[in-house]
Structure 1
Amino acid sequence: MSAILTKLRNVLVPAETKKSDDGRDQWPSRTAFLLASLGGAVGQGNIIRYPSQVFNNVGLQWFIPYLMAIFLLAIPTLILEVAIGQAYRGGAVAAYNNMNRRLRGVGLASIMVSAVVVVYFVIILVWIMTYFRHSFTSPLPWTDRTEEFYYTQVLRQVDPTPGVISPNGVESFFSYSGMGLIGEAVGWSAFIWFCVYLCMFNGVGITGRAAYFTMALPIFMTIILLGRCCSLENAGRGIKLYFATWDSDSIASGQLWQTATGQVFFSTGVGFGYYIAYASYNSKWANAVQDATIIVCSNCLFETIAAFAVFGVVGYLDINPSNTPRLGAFEIGFLTYPAAIAAMPGANFWAVLFFLTLMLLGISSTYPMLDVIVTAIMDRYHHKVARPLVAAVLVVVAFLISLMYCTQFGYYLLDGVDRWINNLALVFVVWSELSLSTTVYRFKDVFTETGKPAWTIYNGGYFLGQILGVAVGHSVSGGAGAGLGIGIYVLGAVISVFLCKTPSAPAPRFWNNNAYLKRFWFLAFYSGNQLRRDLNVIVGSGKNWNIPVFWSPLIRYVSAPILFIVYSLAYPEFWTLRNDPVYVFGFILAHFCLIFAVVALVLPRYYDVFVPMHRLDDGKRIAAPGVLENLIVGQAEDAAEAGSRSPKSSDDELKGEKP
């Protein structure tokens, strides 16, 4: 018996974790890394949130902004996160510190986002497990009473006393009387946190094995559900609504573009820091660009295909946007789906399969968020603490904090925190990643070539244009805001070019045609382009996919401004919710993440405590315009000699490079 148990333990828990050449833990295989990363992206939101967004904007026109967001936002951002995690061999704080010490706050902010979300994310799994338990009861207890069952037996919520906002301001605040703990919710929460611990306590060795179960099995079960739901009576009506309807008028709707962009952004899972942490356990020379593309495309393909199941249910229930109010993710998952399942032959089987699928997908999205914190602690204290102990302490602390969501007002609290963490904090973190990484990376090179005043004025115009542009866009009109924002940027660019001294280092071929073009290239493109070149030495080696030339201009001048506009859209909504304490709490909590990112720009030394002691100086670089970083740090015996004979580091390569 003991021999059997030992063999079982060796299957589930690897006796020895694979190591990279630098001694860092390494994934047992590339498939394990991809599945674990996909687990962070693919969750129950792909099955219930995505269909709700499509239903509310139904028609093929949805896929125009959706596909544009995939290629303009999701893939470029994920390339950045996977590449820096893999190249700089550390979690979010260590990786961003390696780019520049002033970016430490961005890494810390992404960890805080994960810490806040993971605590309330578990309560959704608690609701799923409550349904799962009742799925073994025949007939299903929510038959013909889906709303009553959800609100009274699952959420057990007590409605608050509404507050009042008058033209004179807030007259009274919402009052929540249902403060009691829900016993079943506490029990399921403890069970889920224990499962999370089992998936990540011993590092990527066990996480890689857990990913095969928490991702591969749900995909198989989703295929079964897809076949059943698409074979329901009148399922074709819903599928036609999804994939054979066209509404050209809605293309001009800002809501369609905002919703599709938000769905891609939140579904992909960038900004949480777990891609950086997971990529740091890759082989240093892995194919980061290809991996990032596979993760994004697989995630979007999964949710696009899985949505056919929901629209089969939509046709079966004969609902559509003309006869049904807007559907949210929770309505799809806990009202629409259960109502259809209760009416199916073999209802109990389909209920068990559906909620088990949601639970496993939810677990696969939960442990990556906790792993972000574990990786940061292990990076900081290196071998001084045991990973299983760190994971255990974090799980216990997270469980205790999550108890506030296991109350009768937990649903309201979740909504209040989730709204602002997603719409404010997360968007701001990713905007900071994209805009700051292409601004401060190796900025001493730009100082040397252009002068500090020119660099300051140019970047001042870049950031001020976005801030004042969206402010005027909200207060006056979108056209006025766009005009002002672009005008400020252009004015700053023109002034800085005339103040700038002519760089002595070469620029790519087109930009070397005259002094003004050369000055502009160094101010506008140098930092991002040099980041791309330095990363490509590692992640683009051999037959790996290279980060393309257009990547850095794309994330700086397209992706970042789009995200800042999305970020700004959250603030007007707060004005209508300012008399609700749970929304005020979530709003304040979200801004702590913003403060973490901003303070580090000015006072990076205050963040030394979060950075591994032996890596405090990683973000400090001497000025060496146009020279690849591996040459700066002495990986070649003679930088000048190596630069003259290495195609990747020579001036000839730079001159021949397309802008």
Structure 2
Amino acid sequence: MAVKNVLRKVVGWIAPAPSKSEDGRDQWPSRAAFLLASMGGCAGMGNLLRYPSQVYNNHGLQWYIPYLMCVFLIAIPVLVLEIAIGQAYRGGSVVAFNSMNRRLKGVGLSLLYVGFVVGPYFVVILSWIMNYFRNSFISPLPWTGRGEEFYNQDVVANIEPIPGSLTEDGSRVLSYTKYPGVALVGETVGWTAFTWFLVWLCIFRGVGLTGRVVYFTMGLPIVMTFVLIGRAVSLENAGAGIKLYFAQWNGEKLANGQIWQTACGQVFFSTGVGFGYFTSYASYNTKHSNAVMDSILIVTSNVLFENIAAFAVFGVVGFLRLFPEDGTRLGSFTVGFLTLPLAITEMPGANFWAFALFFTLMVLGYSSAFAMLDAVVTLVMDTGIKWPRAVVVTVLTVISFLLSLPYCTQFGYYLLDGIDRWINDVALVFVVFSECVSSTTVYRWKDVVGQVGRPAFIVYNAGYFGGMVLGVVLAHTVSPLLVLESALDFCRRTRYFHRHRQDPDAETPNLFKRNVYLRRIYYTAFYSPLLRYIAGPILAIVFGFSYPAFYKLRYDPLHILGFAVGHIALIIVAFGFIVPAGTMFLSPSSWRRQDPIRSRSLVRVRGFFQQQRRGWDGKWR
């Protein structure tokens, strides 16, 4: 009995039950725990691998112009939205968006869909890193002098496909790519199972345990990254690589649309918006946490980390004398599994540096992996299910492991490439676009209609959405002049309805008080300008690039599959908007019946907003 009590105390100390907030919801042990968990969701392998490769391929200081614009114009505003709705509505992304408007339930569900699809193949990449980590204890390192062979044959172990082809003019498919290898790769399966077990271990108990785990998953990689930086910048000729990073200017690259698309994609994917876990994490915050300050801290810490960590790669680039002028390009996998490991073999104490590199990548990846699964766990728990959290986590972990198995096959690398590309280029871009436009169009739309009238609201938004759709389509098919003409036509129609709609009677900011026309403009156009007119159109443009790219790869069955998987997110958003009653089991009503304390809290929040919208005379403002 005494031993049992001691074990119970030890488990309680290692994995404590989460504390409760006033409304009965689990709560983070501290604000620092929330920030570290959110930063861990941001900071991952992409910071140490993907970011340096993107900067390298667009080398020069000019990279920071589109990069920083995307940070401040897209990442921070969208993150403020995701954190704020999680805190306000005390639920994950589905509950939060449903509470904003019942037709936005699909938007919240699509965010979780993206994370649930990415998680299984993300863990397989971690299993490849674990393979390297195991081999880092062998001297000499097994990839010495055979880096590409070791990666392709010993780690990934995929059989080369038989490539397909298009006709010379690209109008039709001559033959489809064939993949002769279908067997499972044993070691990859084993490491994948082990990795999912560690993910389960980090989240099965709730935020009480996760709040302690993140101190390790964030603190240790930062220390190890600085150790790697110190070694990299001390290598012979490291200064040449650092000069490539910070001391060159190639202004002509800004005229190329690729650098803008690449910078937007990097910021978008490295910050982690669009995966749903920020809203889930924020729902465990105290009600009055500063969402704006938290968002700024999370994004800026991610920017600082990836820009400082890049010194470790660029020191190695100078050491290996890999320069873009020679036609060399780097990919994320190239940096992590070829460039850095080969450089390590030429360093004194190679085994220690191999251990440090792959241990850092491994721990960085875990925080992102369990963040994506935890968002889905939050959704299931918010439905009011009677199962204990540990059971829910176990079931979802097993399902995720089974979904990982196709990536552990002898065609798994190519499947990963096909799914990853179109989940990022199609699904992820579209769901964040949906966040931006739905939160500024559908949320409290009746207030706007009450001020300007339904016809003006409909036509203005038809012009807003139609302009983006038509502009992107025409940009890919006809001349820019027609795009401009179509945009002007929408503006003329919108202006007509500005003149013929009812006058607002509510207060507006001082800038719009000068006349009735400006007050009309405010309510239909500038209710939330940054998300609506900056982030939304930018994402629409980026989304438009995916279709011409797919047209060139339509001979590959795995890219066709990835393209279809990416479009499921669009179907989820559309279905939730058109048939909001089709997913009633995900509505807040289900957990309001289970938790009356939380229900009363939500009623008070809604009552507060209603009071803000009423004047002292009780009329709507």
Pairwise TM-score range, normalised by the shorter structure: over 0.9
Using the alignment, how far apart are the partners of 1:210 and 1:108 within structure 2? Answer: 27
1:316 aligns with 2:292: no
Residue 525 and residue 607 in structure 1: after superposition, are their counterparts in 2 closer, same or farther (change >3 A)?
farther
1:604 aligns with 2:580: yes
> C-alpha separation between the residues in 1 aligned to 2:207 and 2:612?
40
Counterpart of 1:547 in structure 2 is none
Which residue is 2:427 aligned to?
Answer: 425
Cα pair distance change 1:211/1:261, threshold 3 Å: same
The counterpart of 1:554, out of the listed 511, 520, 530, is 530
Q: CA deviation at 1:611?
A: 1.9
CA contact (8 A) 2:115 2:275 kept: yes
1:36 paired with 2:37, answer yes
Amino acid at match of 1:398: S
Task: Name the residue aligned to 1:302.
Answer: 305
| Alignment partners' CA distance in 1, 2:211 and 2:201 | 12
Matched, 1:175 2:178: yes
The reply on whether 1:59 has 2:60 as its aligned counterpart is yes
Q: 2:403 aligns with which of 401, 404, 408?
A: 401
CA distance in 2, matches of 1:398, 1:501: 53
CA contact (8 A) 1:474 1:481 kept: no
Q: After superposition, what is the alpha-carbon deviation per residue over 1:106-142, rounded to whole angstroms, capped at 9, x for unaligned?
A: 0010010011000111110011011111111100010
Contact 2:196–2:401 (Cα < 8 Å) also in 1? yes
What are the superposed Cα offsets for residues 135-187 of structure 1, whole Å, 9 maximum, x if unpaired?
11100010011001010101111111111211451121100011110000010
Distance 1:245 1:495, change over 3 A: same
How far has the Cα of 1:69 moved from its partner? 0.7
* Residue pairs, 1:217-232, within 5 angstroms: 217-232=220-235
Does the 8 Å CA contact 1:236/1:312 hold for their aligned counterparts? yes
Q: Report the Cα distance in structure 2 between the residues aligned to 1:4 and 1:256, rounded to whole angstroms.
A: 59
2:285 equivalent in structure 1: 282
Residue type matched to 1:76 in 2?
A: P
Residue in 1 that maps onto 2:557: 581
Give the direction of change, closer, same or farther, for the CA distance of 1:514–1:641 in structure 2 (3 Å limit): closer
| Equivalent residue runs for 1:314-463 within 5 Å | 314-381=317-384, 384-463=386-465
In structure 1, what residue type is equivalent to 2:464?
A: Y
Q: Is the 8 A contact 1:461 1:488 kept in 2?
A: no
* CA deviation profile, 1:499-552 (whole Å, cap 9, x unmatched): 3111222322332322222222221134xxxxxxxxxxxxxxxxxxxxxxxxx2
- C-alpha distance in structure 2 between counterparts of 1:106 and 1:298, whole Å: 27
Contact 2:29 2:211 in 1 (8 A): yes
- Count the aligned residue pairs: 609
SS in 2 for 1:322: helix
Deviates more, 1:440-449 or 1:138-147: 440-449
8 A contact 1:465–1:487 mirrored in 2: no
1:267 aligns with 2:270: yes
Partner SS, residue 25 of structure 2 = coil
Contact 1:417 1:586 in 2 (8 A): yes
TM-score, reference length from structure 1: 0.89
Matches of 1:481 and 1:564, distance apart in 2: 18
Who is 2:294 aligned against?
Answer: 291
Contact 1:469/1:484 (CA < 8 Å) preserved in 2?
no
Which letter does structure 2 place at the counterpart of 1:246? W
Is the CA contact 2:92–2:379 (under 8 Å) kept in the aligned structure 1?
Answer: yes
Query: Which segments of 5 or more consecutive residues in structure 2 lack a partner in the other structure?
Result: 594-601
TM-score, normalising length: structure 2: 0.94
Q: Distance in 1 between matches of 2:535 and 2:592?
A: 30
Please tell me whether the aligned partners of residues 453 and 499 of structure 1 are also in contact (alpha carbons under 8 angstroms).
Answer: no
Any conservation in 2 of the 1:427–1:567 contact (CA below 8 Å)?
A: yes
Hey, what's the Cα distance between the residues in 2 that align with 1:439 and 1:210?
Answer: 39
Contact 2:437 2:531 in 1 (8 A): yes
Distance, in Å, in 1 between the alignment partners of 2:605 and 2:336 is 54
Give yes or no for contact 2:422–2:562 (8 Å, CA) kept in 1: yes
Asked whether 1:155 is paired with 2:164, we answer no
Question: What amino acid sits opposite 1:440 in the alignment?
Answer: V
| Gap runs ≥5 in structure 1 | 527-551, 618-628, 655-659
CA distance in 2, matches of 1:131, 1:236: 28
Question: Residue 73 of structure 1 corresponds to which residue in structure 2?
Answer: 74
Contact 1:85 1:92 in 2 (8 A): yes
Which moved further from structure 2: 458-467 or 489-498? 489-498
1:604 deviation in Å? Answer: 1.1
For residues 154 and 593 of structure 1, what CA distance do their matches in structure 2 show? Answer: 32
Contact in 1 for aligned 2:28/2:285 (Cα 8 Å): yes
Distance in 2 between residues matched to 1:473 and 1:418, nearest whole Å? 26
1:118 maps to amino acid: G
CA distance in 2 between counterparts of 1:635 and 1:334 reads 54
- Could you tell which deviates more after superposition, 159-168 or 46-55? 159-168
Task: Answer whether contact 1:525 1:553 (CA < 8 A) is retained.
Answer: yes
**SS in structure 2 opposite 1:120?**
helix
Identity %: 54
Match of 1:110 in 2: 111
| 8 A contact 2:383–2:590 mirrored in 1 | no
RMSD: 2.2
Specify whether residues 328 and 650 from structure 1 end up closer, same or farther in structure 2 by C-alpha distance, changes over 3 A only: farther
Is residue 2:567 matched to residue 1:566?
no
Give the Cα separation in 2 of the matches to 1:231 and 1:319. Answer: 17
Q: CA deviation at 1:598?
A: 1.5
Cα distance in structure 2, aligned partners of 1:632 and 1:374: 25
**Closer, same or farther in 2 for the Cα pair 1:23/1:247, shift >3 Å?**
same
- Runs of 4 or more above 3 Å deviation: 1-8, 479-482, 614-617, 629-636, 638-645
Work out the CA distance in 2 between the residues paired with 1:587 and 1:457.
33
Whether the aligned pair in 2 keeps the contact of 1:451 and 1:501 (CA below 8 Å) is yes
| Cα distance in 2 for residues equivalent to 1:574 and 1:597 | 22
| Structure 2 Cα separation of the partners of residues 318 and 425 of structure 1 | 38
Q: CA separation in 2, counterparts of 1:378 and 1:395?
A: 15
| AA aligned opposite 2:47 | N
CA distance in 2, matches of 1:250, 1:371: 40
Evaluate the alpha carbon distance shift between residue 641 and residue 116 of structure 1 in structure 2; reply closer, same or farther with a 3 A threshold: closer
